[in-house]
Structure 1
Amino acid sequence: MFPKPKSALVPNTHEFESGPMVKATGFREYDARWLFEKEINLMGVQALGMGLGALIGELGVKQEIVTGHDFRGYSASIKYALISGLMAAGCKVHDIGLAVTPMAYFAQFDLDVPCVAMVTASHNDNGWTGVKMGANRPLTFGPDEMTRLKEIVLNADFKNQAGGSYQFHENFPARYIADLTSRPKLKRKLKVVVACGNGTAGAFAPQVMEAIGCEVIPLDTELDHTFPKYNPNPEDMEMLHAIRDAVLKHKADVGLGFDGDGDRCGVVDNTGEEIFADKVGVMLARDMSAIHKDAQFVVDVKSTGLFVTDPVLQRQGAKTAYWKTGHSYMKRRTNEMGALAGFEKSGHFFFNKPFGRGYDDGLVSAIAICEMLDRAPDKSMADLKDAIPKTWSSPTMSPHCADEVKYAVADAVVKHFEDKQKNGERIAGQKIRDLVTVNGVRVTVEDGSWGLVRASSNKPELVVVVESPVSEARMRDMFEAMDSVLRTHSEVGEYNQKI
């Protein structure tokens, strides 16, 4: 019988090497993330595989699963521990090797396999590991599946059974790249900076962009799991500024930055100015709704208000619904509504047919951006950006808040603003026009300025975003209004970045 996992074990002991350690907080709302060897060990990963296999059986899904791993020094060993647990649970495992996350999602379709378990910590700092999982393509697990998986693993409620097997799919990336590039080449010759932050996308992104007809300027595309320059996260200003410098140096048409596991894409225009992903979403929505009548889009609560107020989208009959932040939430909502696409401020974009298969893929996003430019041969990326109404937006800012308390703090902030609205009190000098509480709280005041506070789904942090259609000063007013509430909670620490 496999032992019940413990929440902590002492390293360099017999127990650490021969017993499972799994910290409960690693089971997030829609994927799993742990600090390797501090919160989970290899036996714990094996327990996770056994639990995932048991859950797949409970769900009544065929026990076949795709797995791959990102380029971190320990990811391959974690994947093989996961595979051993999946096989013990009776699963047939299809291993595609080193991969970006969307390559694993693609493999579900290409190999006709229902389930996926991609070993990646995405853009998290070194030391983190995790698994993105699903059993109903193109969707990934949400809170219900993750809660049940947590119960199975922590209670060692495993069901070992025969029938497990393993198959390695040699040269699988070639199939993924061929699928992405089997389209007409761009008519416009675009010079593109392709930045990968030394993450996994560096093994694939340059050749994909070259194959669609771009002249590629590679930036930090060499694989290096120490991430020597900056973390591969296209929401971080450090990465965006590195892309800016390369765009200006090479006089590129656009800079595209990919995160650690390749399911997100950040954008810098030809003048070196970063375009936050929600604004890129507005530009793409304009382009797509010009081709497809009455287009429906889904965006997350961190995203700009322009999806509702933009006159071009209104004129083209586009409709937009706001939903919970998180790739699984957004993917599911986009799928349920049959939307043409979903856009998340973090850079997760979900394209349904004819643009994609419903899952988030940074390379599909990059191709869509290049095709948008191809359809506007007389316009630069900056021209397209400047054509949308001006707003002043913050990057995503994340003050530290422990996993054990972050949801309680977020709930208290929601109640604070609900009480303010009920009492008719002012925020940043104005009355509250609207509260959206599907995911934390998004507070909009009379002039359209808004601020968001929510709990991060995958890190011990809160998330703060502010925007104003009026001025930078009003954006800063909204930040002060949101931050002043957070400062009343001693559990909230320093920000990773600020405006």
Structure 2
Amino acid sequence: MSVRIAAEIFKAYDIRGIVDETLTEDAVYHIGLAIAARARALGVSDIAIGRDGRLSGPRLLARLAAALQDGGLNVVDVGMVATPMLYYAAHTLTQGSGVMLTGSHNPPQYNGLKMMLAGTTLSGDGIQELHQAIVAGVTPVTTCGSLRSADVSTAYRERITSDIKLARPMNIVIDAGNGVAGAYAGDVYRALGCSVTELFCDVDGTFPNHHPDPAKPANLQDLIQALQDTDAEIGLAFDGDGDRLGVVTKDGNIIWPDRQLMLYAADVLARQPQVKIIYDVKCTRLLAPWIREHGGEPIISRTGHSLIKAAMKEHEAALAGEMSGHTFFKERWFGFDDGMYTGARLLEILSQSADASSVLNALPEALSTPELNISMDNEGDNHRIIAQLQANAQFPNAENIIDIDGLRVEYASGFGLIRASNTTPVLVLRFEAETETALAAIQAEFKHVLQQVGLNDLPF
């Protein structure tokens, strides 16, 4: 029998909706049945599941577990964990298969599912096919699977500490924003020999202190203040499900993920020359020449954690990163995005210097804007406008235009980017240049193009 389910929760990278409105317990059950059917077709028999700290997590996870069992899979429930810990469980306890119940950094009323089957993270068409299968009707199988619980926290921590060795003890502050990473990150870094000051590490799905999104400067102000008030030398911040990292220096500078990636790239290339390193279209144009100078091959990619993972497999890349804070180490790790492991790799590098902040502050930097958003009235309007711009927009002063994900327009002295968000109905823009004059010129050209498609209320 066919099922009605909100189509808008099936996003490009995951499934995400408002609990009890678009993402109901019944919806989670039918999604679980569809996942199980897909898994069985891939030869998967065992699947790991976990949840973040959201208040809706326990009841939704119970429905997910029931559906996966009814779909014939043996379920390994690892409980309340960070998303990378669920990925770790999928790699070590199953055939590379797992479902994480998480709303990531969305507001408290949201929840969702990130899915990996047979080592591949579902995205795009794969997620839409789940929706189509649900609408067509997916039924339970006659032989149900089993359910068991597992605790992966010790094994996960020991796997990190067996890989990472600090050259000296470090004094750090971590801010989990009351997200699920707070339950584990402090123990990971103390096990590495760090002295750790914890901010908002008690897991609270109402997020009472600040939003758990280190991509927004406002959410890093408590961390900046703590570095001023203590002897700590570096600050690490995590998003709601622990797969993204934010970094702040002792003097309060935010080291955005594209600059962090420079440091990781130089480190990896020192051991593995000539490997491929992937970055997304939002990253600084200083990154590609940096990678080449250090002996690597830079590859630009579409934005999105699942799309980056697919690109890593396609190109056999050793490292990847995107501006939002997802970093993916294949060298010495599993290739999934992991804020806690990325923080450990950062500390390993910084511990080799007596002044950690100076290492970070010395990384190349250009003038740039934060991510700018233009909200749309309706779902899909952003994609329609991008298609229109890709077909008709003229940028007479551009040297190169990359259209794999919106339009990244590169100039002699900078770049401008406009792309459609795949998670919300907004257009995303970012600008970078060598000088204020060049930045203003690039923005003026973009303003002219956007006004031609009827966008006049612009955030720049």
Q: TM-score, normalised by structure 2?
A: 0.94
* Structure 1 residue aligned with 2:324: 346
Contact 2:259 2:365 in 1 (8 A): no
Q: Do the aligned residues in 1 keep the contact of 2:318 with 2:331 (CA within 8 Å)?
A: yes
In the other structure, the counterpart of 1:455 is: 420
Aligned with 1:190 (options 145, 151, 170): 170
Counterpart of 1:403 (choices 379, 401, 404) is: 379
Q: Secondary structure at the match of 1:370?
A: helix
One-letter amino acid matched to 1:257:
A
Counterparts of 1:86 and 1:380, CA distance in 2: 46
Tell me the distance in 2 between the aligned counterparts of 1:476 and 1:250: 39
Residue in structure 2 matched with residue 371 of structure 1 by the alignment:
348
TM-score, normalising length: structure 1 = 0.87
Aligned-pair Cα RMSD in Å: 2.1
Q: Return 335-344 or 195-204, whichever deviates more.
A: 335-344
Q: State yes or no: 1:361 paired with 2:338.
A: yes
Q: How does 1:16-415 map to 2 (within 5 A)?
A: 22-58=5-41, 60-137=42-119, 139-158=120-139, 160-169=141-150, 171-183=151-163, 185-310=165-290, 313-354=291-332, 356-375=333-352, 377-381=353-357, 383-401=358-376, 402-415=378-391
Conserved in 2, the CA contact under 8 Å of 1:350 and 1:360? yes
Following superposition, the deviation at residue 366 of structure 1 comes to 0.1
Q: Secondary structure at the match of 1:298?
A: strand
CA contact under 8 A between 2:165 and 2:348: conserved in structure 1?
no
- Within 2, Cα distance between the matches of 1:283 and 1:61? 39
| C-alpha distance in structure 2 between counterparts of 1:482 and 1:207, whole Å | 47
The superposition leaves residues 327-352 of structure 1 with CA deviations (integer Å, 9 ceiling, x where unpaired) of 01111211222212001111111101
1:81-120 CA deviation, whole Å, 9 max, x = no partner? 1122111111111100001001111001221333111000
- Cα distance in 1 between the residues matched to 2:56 and 2:18: 11
User: Is 1:466 paired with 2:431?
Assistant: yes
1:201 is aligned with what amino acid?
A: A
Q: 2:402 maps to which residue? A: 436
- Alignment partners' CA distance in 2, 1:91 and 1:455: 36
Measure how far apart 1:385 and its partner are. 3.1
Distance 1:386 1:69 in 2: 36
Residue segments in structure 1 that go unaligned for 5+ positions in a row? 7-21, 426-430
- The percentage of aligned residue pairs carrying the same residue is 28
Offset, 1:486: 4.4
| Counterpart in the other structure of 2:439 | 475
Paired AA for residue 331 in structure 2 = K
CA distance in 2, matches of 1:178, 1:328: 26
Aligned pairs, number: 459
CA distance in 1 between counterparts of 2:15 and 2:72 reads 22
Identify if the C-alpha distance between structure 1 residues 131 and 443 changes in structure 2 by more than 3 Å, giving closer, same or farther.
same
Match of 2:2 among 1, 4, 12: 4
CA distance in 2, matches of 1:407, 1:117: 28
Q: For residue 12 of structure 1, what is the aligned residue in structure 2?
A: none
Taking a change above 3 Å as real, the CA distance of residues 165 and 212 of structure 1, as seen in their structure-2 partners, is same
Q: 1:476: how far off?
A: 4.7
1:485 deviation in Å? 4.3
SS at structure 2 position matched to 1:79: helix
